[in-house]
Amino acid sequence: MKAIAEKFMNDPALTAEEYAELIRCADDSETVQALTKEAVRLRNIYYGNQVYTRGLIEFTNYCRNDCYYCGIRRGNLHARRYRLSKEEILQCCEDGYALGFRTFVLQGGEDGWFTDKRMADIIRAIRATYPDCAITLSIGERSYESYRLFREAGADRYLLRHETADEEHYGKLHPQSMSLAVRKMCLYDLKLLGYQAGAGFMVGSPGQTVECLGKDLAFLKELQPHMVGIGPFIPHHETRFAKEPAGSVELTLFLLSVIRILLPKVLLPATTALGTLDQEGRIRGLAAGANVVMPNLSPLKNRKQYDLYDNKISMDEEAAEGRAKLAEQVERAGYHLADDRGDAVQ
């Protein structure tokens, strides 16, 4: 095993440069094996063989932002836009609850129609109907006051990937109107407000270097999020990155293991993007140290419209209605689908 990996396993607090050196070991099979084994050992200590599930409700694909990699960015005039009504969102929750989900993730573009008042009203309705469920939001950047209002209304968790912790790289992926500083501030606000907060990034996004990834890991170490969402970048044909190659599944798996060692108690999903690039991606993600899966609970009629990247999967085990199939799949691999909220251990 490479010396830097040994150092990392003894004490995961490295510098960004050292994390970059660690990531350069991703092609050394002995190092990969050792880190994977350690990641699984740690995951098993805190979460055993329990796999947490979240019902993902993609409730709007309207977005005011223009992130260059994203299929639902404002500038994509060919995107067929939709937004769910409060009643439709509640119907998703009802369906999800009956299927066994105890966490609902409301994800969407940054859609001005969902004002603070409307959002808080929806959150309150879900909270009142499902007091035993966790509510996760993933609706981008809002003010501290908005986040406070949503928290008071009953939201428990918030996913906001930082996308990249390298300023220059951030500038290559986003228009000038967006900034890494604001993104980071939002994450700190969310933590301050008592959310279980989730950061994260795409693996292999255009222009990403090993040094960028080193900074991502250093930022995660500093932020200490409860959740980390990472998945491979996948091109979307209506973006400037249409011809760019997709990120590597192997590197994503390696980084999942590294993140598990970095933050042993973290909630770490095996993401849809991973499952899109590799049929076995979800199970391979769990075998690398992940402990969460997020099947799709959005109405069937809208699923194809939440088109972040090409060929995004949303059926079978990736679909909430495929929960029984998913349960079988994870049981075969030695895990068990948990039937509770699945909070991060303290």
Residues that bind ligand SAM (CB under 6 A): 69-70, 107, 109-110, 138-140, 160-161, 163, 202, 231, 233-234, 236, 273, 308-309
User: Which amino acid, residue 320?
Assistant: A
Taking the complex as a whole, the smallest distance from the CB of residue 97 to ligand SAM amounts, in Å, to 23
H-assigned helices in the chain: 3-10, 16-23, 29-47, 86-99, 116-129, 144-153, 167-173, 180-192, 210-223, 249-262, 272-277, 281-287, 300-303, 323-332
Taking the complex as a whole, the smallest distance from the CB of residue 96 to ligand SAM amounts, in Å, to 19
Taking the complex as a whole, the smallest distance from the CB of residue 208 to ligand SAM amounts, in Å, to 12
Compare residues 110 and 321 and give the one whose CB is closer to ligand SAM: 110
Compare residues 136 and 138 and give the one whose CB is closer to ligand SAM: 138
Compare residues 14 and 142 and give the one whose CB is closer to ligand SAM: 142
Compare residues 236 and 282 and give the one whose CB is closer to ligand SAM: 236
With CA atoms as reference, report the closest residue to 153 among 201, 209, 114, 188: 114
Taking the complex as a whole, the smallest distance from the CB of residue 109 to ligand SAM amounts, in Å, to 5
How far, CA to CA in Å, does 273 sit from each of 68, 222, 231? Answer: 17, 26, 5
Compare residues 39 and 137 and give the one whose CB is closer to ligand SAM: 137
Taking the complex as a whole, the smallest distance from the CB of residue 59 to ligand SAM amounts, in Å, to 11
* Strand residues in 54-92 grouped as ranges (E): 55-60
> Any bridge partners for residue 201, and if so which?
163, 230
d(CA 22, CA 28): 10
Compare residues 36 and 205 and give the one whose CB is closer to ligand SAM: 205
Compare residues 25 and 137 and give the one whose CB is closer to ligand SAM: 137
The side-by-side arrangement of strands in the sheet containing 50-53 is 292-293, 50-53, 336-337
Taking the complex as a whole, the smallest distance from the CB of residue 61 to ligand SAM amounts, in Å, to 8
Continuous segment of H or E residues that includes residue 229: strand 227-232
Decide: helix, strand or coil at residue 196. strand
Taking the complex as a whole, the smallest distance from the CB of residue 161 to ligand SAM amounts, in Å, to 4
The conformational region for residue 109 under phi > 0 = left, psi -120 to 50 = alpha, else beta, is beta
